[in-house]
Chains A and B, each alone.
Chain A
Amino acid sequence: EIQLTQSPSFLSASVGERVTITCRASQGILSYLTWYQQKPGKAPKILIYGASTLQSGVPSRFSGSGSGTEFTLTISSLQPEDFATYYCQQLNTYPLTFGGGTQVEIK
């Protein structure tokens, strides 16, 4: 089973700040990584797939990069609606696995 380790698990940031979240895989997964955003009481929402392809309708301040074992999700200028928990998921091998999540809160 492929383990995904996200860091940090919690971050506090201000509106307008640039935020970067890292997801490390226990073995190479090429670019088969997807990012989700989850707000309290809601189902997750897909943001980025294939490590770097923005899902339709997702604001361009979100971007993803990486391949192999190290990936990043960047929010170029944090907006009030971006305060949420972010998860990565690998789609290289069954069982599909998620990272532990990164909670982004308002400073």
Chain B
Amino acid sequence: EVQLVQSGAEVKKPGESLKISCKGSGDNFGSYSIVWVRQMPGKGLEWMGIIHPDDSDTTYSPSFQGQVTFSVDKSISTAFLQWNSLKASDTAIYYCARLWGPYYYGSGSYHRNFPYYYYGVDVWGQGTTVTVSS
């Protein structure tokens, strides 16, 4: 069974940096497609982007481009989401999740370049709550 376990809740001040983690288990982490999703307090889901752990190939949503950085350490099956300078508006729950479908999505995969070759998110982390307040 594939599982994603995220790091614990964080309380930070504006301007501080932060890196949260998402550890995968139960399958070949390198073949995953990991997405990050934000949920602000009492609001809906926002897709932040996708990273492929095999080669760290990344696509950001325009709304988050330049605001956050995705990274991966394949040796420990862990994906990361990082901020260099937090704002109060970054207060939210952040989910990592696996974008899933019927194809191989590792390095060299043709299908991972096109979102319609996926079915959706089938495995979610438990979420990391980030609170930014002075």
- Compute how far the CA of A94 lies from the CA of B125 in the bound complex, rounded to whole angstroms: 22
Cβ-based interface call for A81 (8 A): no
| Contact code string A25-67 (vs B, CB < 8 Å = 1, else 0) | 0000010101010100001111001100101000000000000
Q: Check B45–A92 contact: CB distance below 8 A.
A: no
Most buried by B among A34, A91, A96, A100: A96
Q: Which residues of B contact A97 (CB under 8 A)?
A: 47
Q: Check A87–B47 contact: CB distance below 8 A.
A: no
Interface residue tally for chain A (C-beta within 8 Å): 27
**What is the predominant secondary structure among interface residues of chain A facing chain B?**
loop
- Compute how far the CA of A91 lies from the CA of B97 in the bound complex, rounded to whole angstroms: 15
A-B residue pair count with CB separations less than 8 angstroms: 69
Q: How far is the CB of A100 from chain B (nearest CB, A)?
A: 5
Chain B residues touching A, range: 20 to 34
Q: Check B63–A32 contact: CB distance below 8 A.
A: no
Q: How far is the CB of A92 from chain B (nearest CB, A)?
A: 6
Q: Check A43–B119 contact: CB distance below 8 A.
A: no
Q: Which residues of A contact B116 (CB under 8 A)?
A: 30, 32, 91-92
Q: Check A95–B126 contact: CB distance below 8 A.
A: no
Q: Check A101–B45 contact: CB distance below 8 A.
A: yes
Q: Which residues of A contact B46 (CB under 8 A)?
A: 98
Q: Rank and list the top 4 A-B pairs by shortest CB-CB distance, nearest first.
A: A34-B120, A43-B124, A95-B61, A49-B119
